[in-house]
Every structure is written in structure tokens, then in C-alpha cells.
């Protein structure tokens, strides 16, 4: 691994969300945690597969993940696979039946889950193998659908945030990150529950970062990160607006000395238009086009 790649990966790990917090519409929601198997009470930053997700309801991560993997057992293993292949088969009559295979989220098939509470109700979103599923988990378990959200076949897709855009409308933000030499690409995607159905809501934003050596800098690092990703109340709309701010920073590193070179911010406001979110990201896209074209 080159020094530039190491710096990029270190930055990506430090920027990753770690904790789940209670949330309501109008804030930055909750983050995803890894699903752990067995005795995981002492494991921080994880959700136990068979433990209740919220107080006052018996629903577990196993219940939610069973919407992706029917037949999944408390040991995280199952014999029937109904992930991406099943989602594709459901949308394409000519795709045929998905092939069964062994699945084990303790070893080969990692899974994540996030929970958000809305008054007397709570919702959970689970991610595994490029598929997201959402369910109401309090007061009783009720599946709300699953979708294939994998946008980068070269790298896995992760859960980024679980927002609450309305009391009965959780919105899942996923991100696919791809690293290519000294370049980094982050592709975000929104899906959410509208009228009790999980649907696609928005593709984007798309972030681009890279590092290069120049005459003035041993490493000139161009970095884009999410500064804000939250719901914002909007009067008269079914779903709250989503406010996003992407921060760009360029830094020059020579030896142990690092100096800021440039910084910019790109605000994006997503507005629900009856079926999907719509927003203008042209300023960010045009800025990145200068580096990629």
C-alpha cells in the first residue's frame, strides 16, 4: 500500500460513524452498528443479534435480518439466501429463482442495523450484501420492504444514517465507497418508507477526493466530507426536507508540516416532490468535474 493510500484509508476510518442515538424528525438521525453474534453484551458499537432492539418490544436484529435471509438462525447461519438475487428476481420475471446458498453473518456476510424512535413507535433498518430492509419494531414487528441499494460492485455498500422524515417515514442513507489508487469516490443513496412502502428516494450526492504530489507539496490532499446530513422541517410537505453540506478542503503536506490551501462548502437541499426527493447538486458536480474530466 502506498503512503497516499494509507493516509486516505486512515481518514476514512476516522470519519466513520460509531454510535446509535435516539432521534426525531429534524436532526441527523442515528448511525448503523455491526450485528454481533453470541455473547456480545460487552462489545461496544455492536447490536446483539438476538437481543431486543428497543425497550418495551421483543423484536430483535434477527427478526429484521430474516427479511433479507429467511431461515437465518440465532447463530447467524442459514441455508437459504434471499438477498440481492431475490430482490433482482422479484423485479425481473425473467431472472428466475435465486440460487440457495449458505449464509453466515458471523463470518462471510456482515450485517449492520440502525434504530430510530418516533413517539410510541420505533423503526429499524438492516443492511447486508447490498440489500436494505426496513421494519417497524415497536409496538409490534411489521416488515416494510427491502431494496437492492448496492451501487458499487467493486466495494460493499454500508448504512450511513437512519433519518426520520415524518413520524411514519424512516429514511435510510447508504454509501458506497470506492478507492482507486489515490482517488476516493463516495456515492450516497436514499431510500425510505412512503405510505407504508419502502421506495427509492434519491441518488446522491457524489463525493470525490484524491491526493497528488506536486512541485510545492509532497502530498496535496483534496478531501470532501459530509459536514451535515439531516432532516429539516418543511411546512406543508409529506416528508421533511433533507439538508446536506459537503465540505471540501485542500491541504499541503511537506514532511511533518501541513498547511491549508483551500476550502469550500457545498450546501444541497433535498425536497420531497410527491414520490421522490429532488435537489440541485450542480455546484458540487461541476467542481468535481474539473478534477475528473
What are the pLDDT digits (tens) for 81-93? Answer: 555 555 655 556 6
Average pLDDT over residues 130-135: 92
Q: How confident is the model at residue 81, as a pLDDT? A: 57
Q: Please check the confidence at residue 172 and state whether its pLDDT lies above 90.
A: yes
Handedness of CA 191, 75, 44, 14 (dihedral sign): negative
Pairing of strands 33-36, 46-48: parallel
The label of the residue with cell 481518514 reads: 11
Mean per-residue pLDDT of the chain: 82
Q: Which helix (H) or strand (E) holds 13?
A: helix 3-15
* C-beta of residue 101 within 8 angstroms of C-beta of residue 131: no
Q: How confident is the model at residue 13, as a pLDDT? A: 32
Q: Please check the confidence at residue 230 and state whether its pLDDT lies above 90.
A: yes
> Per-residue pLDDT tens for 243-266?
999 999 999 999 999 999 899 999
Average pLDDT over residues 31-45: 80
Q: How confident is the model at residue 88, as a pLDDT? A: 58
Cα torsion at 141, 175, 78, 62 (round to 10°)? Answer: -30
Q: How confident is the model at residue 11, as a pLDDT? A: 39
Provide the 10 A C-beta neighbour count for residue 183. Answer: 18
Q: How confident is the model at residue 274, as a pLDDT? A: 85
Task: Classify burial at 112, counting beta carbons within 10 Å of its beta carbon; exposed 0-12, middle 13-18, buried 19 or more.
Answer: buried
Average pLDDT over residues 188-211: 93
Which residue, 106, 192, 207, is CA-closest to 145? 192
Q: Which helix (H) or strand (E) holds 205?
A: strand 197-212
Decide which of 87 and 280 is more confident.
Answer: 280
Average pLDDT over residues 142-148: 90
Percentage of residues in the chain having pLDDT higher than 70: 80
Amino acid at each position: 500500500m502506498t503512503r497516499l493510500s494509507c493516509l486516505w484509508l486512515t481518514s476514512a476510518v476516522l470519519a466513520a460513524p460509531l454510535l446509535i442515538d435516539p432521534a426525531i424528525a429534524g436532526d441527523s438521525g442515528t448511525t448503523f452498528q455491526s450485528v454481533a453474534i453470541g455473547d456480545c453484551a460487552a462489545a461496544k458499537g455492536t447490536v446483539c443479534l438476538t437481543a431486543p432492539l428497543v425497550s418495551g418490544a421483543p423484536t430483535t436484529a434477527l427478526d429484521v435480518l430474516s427479511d433479507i435471509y429467511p431461515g437465518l438462525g440465532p447463530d447467524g447461519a442459514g441455508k437459504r439466501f434471499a438477498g440481492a438475487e431475490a430482490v433482482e428476481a422479484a423485479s425481473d420475471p425473467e431472472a428466475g429463482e435465486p440460487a440457495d446458498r449458505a449464509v453466515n453473518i458471523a463470518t462471510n456476510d456482515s450485517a449492520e442495523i440502525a434504530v430510530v424512535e418516533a413517539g410510541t413507535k420505533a423503526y429499524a433498518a438492516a443492511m447486508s450484501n447490498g440489500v436494505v430492509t426496513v421494519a417497524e419494531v415497536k409496538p409490534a414487528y411489521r416488515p416494510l420492504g427491502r431494496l437492492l441499494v448496492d451501487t458499487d460492485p467493486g466495494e460493499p455498500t454500508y448504512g450511513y444514517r437512519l433519518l426520520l422524515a415524518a413520524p411514519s417515514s424512516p429514511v435510510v442513507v447508504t454509501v458506497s465507497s470506492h478507492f482507486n489508487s489515490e482517488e476516493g469516490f463516495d456515492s450516497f443513496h436514499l431510500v425510505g418508507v412512503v405510505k407504508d412502502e419502502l421506495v427509492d428516494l434519491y441518488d446522491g450526492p457524489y463525493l470525490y477526493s484524491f491526493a497528488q504530489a506536486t512541485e510545492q507539496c509532497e502530498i496535496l490532499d483534496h478531501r470532501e466530507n459530509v459536514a451535515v446530513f439531516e432532516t429539516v422541517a418543511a411546512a406543508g410537505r409529506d416528508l421533511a426536507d433533507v439538508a446536506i453540506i459537503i465540505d471540501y478542503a485542500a491541504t499541503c503536506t511537506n514532511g511533518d508540516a501541513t498547511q491549508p490551501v483551500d476550502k469550500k462548502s457545498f450546501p444541497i437541499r433535498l425536497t420531497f416532490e410527491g414520490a421522490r426527493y429532488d435537489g440541485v447538486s450542480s455546484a458540487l458536480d461541476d467542481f468535481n468535474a474539473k478534477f475528473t474530466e
